[in-house]
Amino acid sequence: MKSVKKILFYLLLTIGAIAFIYPFYWMITASLAPESEISNLTLFPSSISLNSYKQMVEKIPIGRSLINSIFVASSVTFGVLIIGSMVGYALSRLDFKGRDTIFYIIIFTMTLPFQITLIPQYIIMVKFGWIDTYYSLIVPYLSNALAIIMFRQYFKTISQSLIDAARLDGCGELQIIFRILWPNSIPAIVTIGIITFMASWNEVLWPLIVIRDESLMTMPQLVTLFAVGGRAESQLGVVLSSAVMLALPIILAYLFFQKYFIQSMASTGIKE
Amino acid sequence: MPYLLVSPYLVHFFLFIAFPVVFSIVLTFHKWNIISPMEFVGVKNYVRLFNDKIFFKSMINTLIFLAIHIPLQIIVALFLAEVLNQKLKFQGFFRAAFFLPVIVSGVVVTILWQQMFGFDTGLLNRMLVTIGLGKVGWLTDPDVAMTSIAVMATWKNVGLYIVLFLVGLQTVPTHYYEAADLEGASRMQKFFKITLPMINPTIFMVVILSTIGGFSLFIEPYIMTGGGPLNSTISAVLYIYKQGFFYYHMGYAATLGLFFALIIFTVVILQKKFVETNN
């Protein structure tokens, strides 16, 4: 009885796992298959060809968009880590007038739906002359309420004596944050870093709004416009090859750092 | 010094949050295409909103989405989490497999599912034909299209909720189950009397996050259907996007944004109240 149940469980899980993995497998094989075989859903194409990729690379600047995406997501992540830890430190370790007010403002902004700020933020970008610049992709994301809250929580767990000792040694506040607290906050930095990088990497609505110049587009935006526009000339393999290029960097990172990805993403859900 | 440390946040807050919120309210009383000067129109945008069939359609679409997405997500995630919570081999592998769509861009997921939903060559219709059933217009039938998107969104997100439920399940003290075993409780009884009440907070969180997600739906209809057929998949954000960046009706788009934000607030608070009174 027990073993029958176990087999049933494994069967269920395997069917589930196939349902979650098969589409990605199909995407990769279809992008490598000759165009005539794609609609056949074959598991193994008769021959492997990079033809779809060649055509895709000729039609859209996918390499440039990869560099754009890496640059934008890295800059945002860097900014969020710096600003997040500065504010998180001030809120958790320093006493000053207005501290609680700022804390409540941060909590409030976390609950504010983005639908209300979307249009005015676009208008600000227009007025700043930031349309079709990297600024519009980076600056609005440099500070993040969740990151501040997470740093604040984490810094609270670090012993005050460490900070006192550093202060006696003549460290300034910035030195305390980046020389003393950062090396002791690796888990928080990894978590916040992954969440921020992923959110920036996957963002597509905002780039669609503020970027029209193809050479400045991030990868998700370029692939989206390629998929909905007519340039792929309804050649499925070509669209799929661009989707593979978009998925691959994250899937590769995920294969190596799976545990960190799952932990980090789950912690955003636990925040409430 | 403390003020220096928080100043980047404050500048950011005033520039990208406080000012936009105030300005969006100002915008709702104006007609503006950004190029010509702003024109004061009083409450015209509000009157228009209450007579806008597409606005109501987008609301209904969101409700349809949530009505399918939330229960489906909770049932599938809870079921798989329960199965994964046993002592099984390859547990890490299965968990990682279910989590894969969570980390991949929604753009990729949407392009993939667009093919699976295809009428003639899509995987789903082929499977239906194989077992002797008729084809379904997953994305072409106005009565079905939103359901298809809700199913796809569940596939994309469920891995995250499996992990959250697993965390929740592990907080249930094992002696509760041992006590229930002594009294001869069945598996079902244990699930409904012990597990479910204990993981209530996680379920509530899934409901809130899914609700916010439903009102934020954009890239899925943008790529797969463009909001069609017959506006049956136009979502809140897609409609704001169309009004703002297709027609350049900044005033009206801001009015839509304000209303959707208020609706999200109201729905989330109602859900919170509902949970509090039921506990």
Task: Assess if residue B25 is contained within a domain.
Answer: no
- Residue in chain B nearest A95 by alpha carbon: B2
3-state secondary structure B176-232: HHHHHHHCCCCHHHHHHHHHHHHCHHHHHHHHHHHHHHHHCCCHHHHHHCCCCCCCC
Task: Assess if residue B28 is contained within a domain.
Answer: no
pLDDT number for residue A272: 37
Task: Assess if residue B169 is contained within a domain.
Answer: yes
Residue among B152, B151, B146, B109 at smallest CA distance from B231: B146
B224: phi then psi, degrees, rounded to nearest 5: -80, -40
Chain B interface disruption, residue of A116, A130, A206, most B CBs within 10 A: A116
- Tell me which chain A residues have a C-beta less than 8 angstroms from the C-beta of B221: none
Instruction: Give yes or no for a contact between B122 and B115, defined as CB atoms under 8 angstroms apart.
Output: yes
Instruction: Give yes or no for a contact between A193 and A81, defined as CB atoms under 8 angstroms apart.
Output: yes
E strands in A111-211: none
The pLDDT mean for chain B works out to 91
Q: Give how far B169 is from chain A: nearest CA, Å.
A: 14
pLDDT number for residue B279: 64
Residue among A229, A225, A181 at smallest CA distance from A205: A225
Alpha carbons A116 and B23: distance in angstroms, whole number = 10
- Tell me which chain B residues have a C-beta less than 8 angstroms from the C-beta of A91: 6
Instruction: Give yes or no for a contact between A227 and B223, defined as CB atoms under 8 angstroms apart.
Output: yes
Total residue length of chain A: 272
pLDDT number for residue B118: 87
- Tell me which chain B residues have a C-beta less than 8 angstroms from the C-beta of A16: 80, 94, 97-98
Give the number of other Cβ atoms within 10 Å of residue A5's Cβ. Answer: 10
- Tell me which chain B residues have a C-beta less than 8 angstroms from the C-beta of A114: 216
pLDDT number for residue A269: 59
Give the pair of three-digit tokens for residue A148.
Answer: 């501040």
pLDDT number for residue B78: 92
Instruction: Give yes or no for a contact between B215 and B264, defined as CB atoms under 8 angstroms apart.
Output: yes
pLDDT number for residue B148: 95
Whether chain B has a CB inside 8 Å of the CB on A89: the answer is yes
Instruction: Give yes or no for a contact between A103 and A91, defined as CB atoms under 8 angstroms apart.
Output: yes
Domain ranges of chain A: 2-49, 55-270
Residue among B64, B112, B71, B46 at smallest CA distance from B234: B64
Task: Assess if residue B30 is contained within a domain.
Answer: no
Contact A116 B20 (CB under 8 A): yes
Question: How many domains would you assign to chain B?
Answer: 1
pLDDT tens digit string along B46-61? 999 999 999 999 999 9
Domain containing B97 equals: 54-278
pLDDT number for residue B50: 95
Alpha carbons B143 and B139: distance in angstroms, whole number = 9
Alpha carbons B79 and B96: distance in angstroms, whole number = 16
- Residue in chain B nearest A221 by alpha carbon: B107
Task: Assess if residue B183 is contained within a domain.
Answer: yes
SS3 A45: coil
Chain B interface disruption, residue of A4, A37, A115, most B CBs within 10 A: A115
Write the DSSP assignment of chain B as a string of letters.
Answer: -HHHHHHHHHHHHIIIIIHHHHHHHHHTTEE--SSSPPEE-TTHHHHHHHT-HHHHHHHHHHHHHHHHHHHHHHHHHHHHHHHHTSS-TTHHHHHHHHHHHHHS-HHHHHHHHHHHT-TTT-HHHHHHHHTTPPP--TTT-TTTHHHHHHHHHHHHHHHHHHHHHHHHHHTS-HHHHHHHHHTT--HHHHIIIIIHHHTHHHHHHHHHHHHHHHHT--HHHHHHTTT-STTTT--HHHHHHHHHHTS--HHHHHHHHHHHHHHHHHHHHHHHHHHHHH-
Instruction: Give yes or no for a contact between A198 and B103, defined as CB atoms under 8 angstroms apart.
Output: yes
| Burial (CB count <10 Å: 0-12, 13-18, 19+), residue A197 | buried
Whether chain B has a CB inside 8 Å of the CB on A70: the answer is no
CATH code given to domain A55-270: 1.10.3720.10
SS3 A271: coil
Contact A117 B24 (CB under 8 A): yes
Residue among B233, B209, B219 at smallest CA distance from B64: B233
In this prediction the ipTM stands at 0.92
Region of poorest pLDDT, from A172-181, B86-95, B136-145, B240-249:
B86-95
Residues 241-260 of A with CB under 8 A from B: 243, 246-247, 250-251, 254, 258
User: Which amino acid type is present at position A57?
Assistant: V
> Residue B242: pLDDT band by 50, 70, 90 thresholds?
very high
- Tell me which chain A residues have a C-beta less than 8 angstroms from the C-beta of B21: 112, 116-117, 120
Average pLDDT over every residue of B155-179: 88
Give the pair of three-digit tokens for residue A166.
Answer: 């550093």
Tokens 């379920």 belong to which residue? B203
Residues 151-190 of A with CB under 8 A from B: 173
**CATH code, B257:** 1.10.3720.10
What is the residue-level pLDDT of chain A in tens, covering all 272 positions?
578 888 888 898 999 999 999 999 999 998 998 877 776 666 777 778 888 899 999 999 999 999 999 999 999 999 999 999 999 999 998 999 999 999 999 998 988 999 999 999 999 999 999 999 999 999 999 999 999 999 999 999 998 899 999 999 988 889 999 999 999 999 999 999 999 999 999 999 999 999 999 999 999 999 999 999 877 777 888 999 999 999 999 999 998 888 888 888 887 755 43
Contact A13 B83 (CB under 8 A): yes
Q: Give how far B234 is from chain A: nearest CA, Å.
A: 15
Buried b / exposed e over B56-70, threshold 16 CB at 10 Å, is ebbbebbebbbebbb
Q: Give how far B193 is from chain A: nearest CA, Å.
A: 22
Contact A123 B250 (CB under 8 A): yes
- pLDDT at residue B188 above 90? no
- pLDDT at residue B68 above 90? yes
Task: Assess if residue B133 is contained within a domain.
Answer: yes
pLDDT number for residue B266: 92
- Residue in chain B nearest A258 by alpha carbon: B96
Alpha carbons A213 and A133: distance in angstroms, whole number = 9
Contact B103 A198 (CB under 8 A): yes
